[in-house]
Structure 1
Amino acid sequence: MTGSLYISGLASGLDTDTLIKQLMDIERIPLTRLQQRKIQYNLEKNAWHDVYVRISSLWNTLGDLKLASTFNSFKATSSNEAALTATADSNAVPASYEIDITQLAKPETVASSSQVSTADNVSLGLPAGKLYINFDDGTSKQRYIDVDSNSTLQSIVEAINIVPPTTSDPGAGDIVTASIVDHKLVITSKTSGSGVSISFSDDASGAITDKLYLTSPTEIQIGQDAQFSVNGLAVTRSKNTVDDVIQGVTLNLKGVTNSPVNLQIASDTQRAIDAVNAFVAQYNSVMDFIATKLGDKGDLQSDPTLMAIQEKLRQLASGIVSGVTGPYKSLQDIGISTGEVVGSGTLTFDRSGKLTINTDKLTAALEKDADAVYQLFYNNSGTGGVAVSFDNYLTFLIKGTGNSTYTKGILVAQEDAAQNIIDDIDDQIARMEDRLAMKEEQLRRQFTAMEQALAALQSQGTWLAGQIAGLGAYQRK
């Protein structure tokens, strides 16, 4: 009840609340239909959003399929990873190497010739000035830090380890690492190899280096080169990470060997297989989802736009790639199809358009001609290939073409269209609820007026009955 106080059926004896409710239920039928339409459009909107998410995930799998390194990949296998590990890039050549490591590269390390203090955080009473760290690895470099009477061994270490923004700023963390061992200042070069030297000076007539016992520092470790052989050829390098000895291979020297380490460089088909598997798995997820949404109980049942998308994806996955000069012209040629070969030698097809991978056939294709497989997905001109065709179409679905019709992409446009209808329905519902509230108030006023009229009639009838009864009594007298 709205408005003033209302008491049901006092004069008429009718259950007017029930009557009003039943009348309003009839009035609310159009509102109920609108609410049901809103529910349906919400389901459609959410379905389009889910299609967008799955299509976007499929789009993301295309990146690796457009990289030559995915298909022309090599792996390096060491027989003794405690002594040697290696990585191979796309420029490597399949081969076998015997590597014997006789010496690892080491950095230069020097230290204070005596304990500087008995406590690392106690002021050393240094004169104010600059401590210079002089470094030479074939190219001379000089860095400095500021010290004063408040400087401690710990604050000096922290100052040295700062990487200076420019060579004119204090700090030497770009060329050395400082630490404290047994209350001595220990300095280690960040560059390994022979010929590295570290020395110290100051602008206080040697007073700072004297107090820190760095005038004649103790050489703890002499910088040395790595020495090793590759298939009997002796090699010397200043670092333990070596990328300029074997084509396309980076060697990580980790320990001296007692016997040669065997290093195998071979084609790595797994990276390409993983990339193809990721693409196919997401493609199948998309096609499964679309088939469900288009089905008899789907939220986008028989939607023409989604049916067109489904058909286009099938065409892209099963079509012949033009402009390819290699032996592989379609995904089926490398073992990817919408079915699998059965006993009769024929293909069985999946109704939803899902793909099946024959891993053995894919592996064989990669081992035979990995570059030709890559060209099937992404050719040299970048204008053809399965990955390019999918990329162009999925970009159109997600982002549109930039013209006035599809500035957001079809998927977003479909979701927005559903939301616009939902917004319009919400407006209609709000207006209808206002009208229904007014209608209910009108009915209550009408029933109230009826009750009041009946009550007045009943009152008059009672008065007349009383008058008639009184007249009868008078006549009997």
Structure 2
Amino acid sequence: MTTAGSSIISALGAGSGVDFITLAQDISAATFAAQRDQIAARKTALEAQISAAGQLRGAITGLASALGDRIRTGDLAPRGDLANPAVARVSVPAGLSPRGNFQLEVTQLASSQTLVAPALASRDALVGEGTFTLRFGTVDGASFNPDAARPVIDIAVTATDTLATLAVRINQASGGAVQAYVANGTGGAQLVMKGREGAANGFVIETTGAGGGAVPGDLDYLGWAPASDAGQLQGSARDATFRLDSVAMSSPTNRVTGLPGGFTLDLTATNSGAPTTLSFASNPQAFAGVMEDFVTALNDIVGELNRLAAPLGGELGNDPGARELRRDLAGLSGRVVMPNAADGAPRTLADLGLALNRDGTFRLDTAALNRALETNSDAVAAMFTTGVNGVFATMDRFARENSLVTDPGTLGGSLRRFEQQVAASDERLARIAEQQETLRDRLTRQFTASERRVAASQSTLTFLRQQIDIWSARDR
């Protein structure tokens, strides 16, 4: 850095022969070197502690997350088995676990009303000026029962509207309640209109044309009512009807929800007179596999904890958050997973075979797990859901408890403390840098003043020598 003092020293030719600029920098740096090095070393140690605590917290959080994914979409996800899979697809929302067997008989699939209007010459043919009205309700044979709760849709058709633009305007005005498009068939261009599934989604078309009658070029040509149907109706709006364990049910769509245990059916075909079996059963092999993987993951966490929190050389050797994690792991097998379990049913992770060794590691007690599966398979299955209770909820709470930044006795609290200390170290280093620069600037000014005095003395000395030389020459 160039200062006024350094410029003066350069102009004076550094009469003393000493590099005061470098000297000022070296002295100021040496003055704060011990503090700066101590803080930098502490910051490095803190960053290692942050990494270690974050690694442990990430491991327990990742275990809980992986367990939840496995329950929701993996091999523990509840699945229904249909003896006749062509009839329907079965799905179970996350967090639910239906059980048991059901008889399913689909007698009718939900369908939508489909109208195909009389043909015009082309998609660009004019349809005629007037009002095109859609009214919704139930079509029953030749009768129509309007739904007073649903608004009537009136579309103002201009003299320049074509069959193609009318289809666009129907789609826009109905908001998807009616899907319209133009199909070019062998007889010409025809307007196709499809409503939504369900008997209540039938519709009629009321038109008010220019008065030319129901002929091409007049809007009345496209009107339709069930009583005057001349073949335009190609599909009727119907509800799906089915029997579940002989109980008659219906649904406005082929996606049926609200069934026992929360499962959902997507109906795909009928099987009238030939009911099929729908079953939900536990998978003992899946539960055993999950418990084996669970024990392995826990032992990985224990191994990392032993390494990172070792009394000698461990980054978290004396950390309260690491100590709390060790205590929590030691008590994990005894945690109550199902507080409302029936007498004799598994309640804790120990009942599922999670056992603690003397060295703090875990093992799988296969005898205990097999006993629970043989005697209470449904209760075991109920422990592997994403509800408020169960193995996932327990591990999720375990991870959250150890990640609380507001609790100084958790890993989360340790992380927060370490991060605050790093921030404080950064602030202290910044203040030291300012103090060092202040000292360097002060020393530079002092050395500049000294250099001025040295230069002045040398100038005087030179002058005296010159005078002495002159006097000596005169005396000869």
Q: TM-score, normalised to structure 1's length?
A: 0.67
- 1:140/1:47 Cα in 2 relative to 1: closer, same or farther (>3 Å)? farther
Q: How far, CA to CA, are the matches of 1:472 and 1:289 in structure 2?
A: 90
Of 349, 365, 377 in structure 2, the residue corresponding to residue 370 of structure 1 is: 377
| Aligned pairs for 1:82-121 within 5 A | 82=86, 84-87=88-91, 90-94=97-101, 106-112=111-117, 114-115=118-119, 117-121=120-124
Aligned to 1:167: none
Which of the residues 80, 91, 100 maps onto 1:76?
80
Deviates more, 1:450-459 or 1:243-252: 243-252
1:27 corresponds in structure 2 to 31
Partner of 1:13: 17
Alpha-carbon spacing, 1:137–1:359, altered in 2? closer, same or farther (3 Å): farther
Matched, 1:326 2:336: no
Measure, in 2, the Cα distance between the counterparts of 1:189 and 1:257: 25
Aligned to 2:164: 154
Going from structure 1 to structure 2, the CA distance change for 1:435 and 1:136 (only over 3 Å counts) comes to: same
* Distance apart, 1:85 and its partner CA: 3.7
CA 1:188/1:66 → structure 2, altered by over 3 Å: closer, same or farther? closer
Q: Partner of 2:4: helix, strand, or coil?
A: coil
What is the number of equivalent residue pairs in this alignment?
Answer: 441
* Aligned partner of 2:279 among 265, 269, 276: 265
Residues 104 and 225 of structure 1 are in contact (CA less than 8 Å); yes or no, is this contact kept in structure 2? yes
Instruction: Determine the structure 2 residue equivalent to 1:165.
Output: none
Please say which of residues 357-366 and 11-20 is displaced more in the overlay: 357-366
Matching of residues 287-302 of structure 1 within 5 Å: 287=302, 289-295=304-310, 298=314, 300-302=315-317
Partner of 1:190: 196
Deviation at residue 272 of structure 1 after TM alignment: 5.9
Give the share of equivalent positions with the same residue, in percent: 22
Question: Is the counterpart of residue 216 in structure 1 residue 216 in structure 2?
Answer: no
Cα root mean square deviation, aligned:
5.3
**Secondary structure of the structure 2 residue equivalent to 1:184:** strand
Unaligned runs of 5+ in 2: none
Deviations 1:268-300 (A, max 9, x none): 4377678768866775665555445424555x4
State the match for 1:417 in structure 2.
417
Q: 2:46 aligns with which of 41, 44, 48?
A: 41
Report the Cα distance in structure 2 between the residues aligned to 1:273 and 1:412, rounded to whole angstroms.
32
AA in 2 matched with 1:23:
I
* Cα displacement string for residues 315-351 of structure 1 (whole angstroms, at most 9, x for unaligned residues): 332326496633545434423345xxxxxxxx685x6
Q: Hey, what does 1:317 align to over in structure 2?
A: 332
* Contact 2:197–2:239, Cα closer than 8 Å, also in 1: no
Q: Give the letter for the 2:42 counterpart.
A: R
- Name the SS for the 1:28 alignment partner: helix
Query: What is the aligned partner in structure 1 of residue 353 from structure 2?
Result: 335
* 2:146 corresponding residue in structure 1: 141
Counterpart secondary structure, 2:432:
helix
Cα deviation, 1:241-274, whole Å, max 9, x if unaligned, reads: 6679999876555357899797562414377678
- What 5-or-longer segments of structure 1 have no aligned partner? 163-169, 339-346, 401-405
Amino acid at match of 2:268: K
Aligned to 1:126: 129
Instruction: Give the secondary-structure state (helix, strand or coil) at the position aligned to 1:13.
Output: coil
Contact 1:337–1:357, Cα closer than 8 Å, also in 2:
yes
**Conserved 8 A contact 2:254-2:267:** yes
The Cα shift of 1:27 comes to 0.9
Distance 1:450 1:19 in 2: 13
1:454 to 1:86, Cα distance in 2 relative to 1, 3 A? closer
What letter corresponds to residue 326 of structure 1 in structure 2? G
1:222-261 correspondence to structure 2 within 5 Å:
252-255=266-269
Cα deviation, residue 172, structure 1? 8.2
**Which AA in structure 2 matches 1:370?**
S
Matching residue's letter, 1:93: G
> Does the C-alpha gap of structure 1 residues 75 and 45 become closer, same or farther in structure 2, counting only changes over 3 Å?
closer
For residues 171 and 431 of structure 1, do their structure 2 counterparts lie closer, same or farther at Cα, with a shift above 3 Å needed? closer
Cα distance in 2, alignment partners of residues 10 and 173 from structure 1? 89
Taking the aligned partners of 2:465 and 2:259, their CA distance within structure 1 comes to 127
Describe the superposition over 1:71-108 as per-residue Cα deviations: whole angstroms up to 9, x where unpaired: 9975333466456544577444247x7x8989866545
Distance 2:383 2:105 in 1: 42
Opposite residue 122 of structure 2, the aligned amino acid is A
Which residue identity is paired with 2:123?
D
Shift of 1:158: 3.9
Q: Does the 8 Å CA contact 2:53/2:316 hold for their aligned counterparts?
A: no
Report the alpha carbon displacement of residue 14 of structure 1 after superposing the two structures with TM.
3.8
The 3-state SS of whatever aligns with 1:431 is: helix
Mapped to 2, the partners of 1:262 and 1:377 lie a distance apart of: 28
Matched residue type, 2:15: A
For residues 404-443 of structure 1, the aligned pairs below 5 Å read 406=406, 410-411=410-411, 413-443=413-443
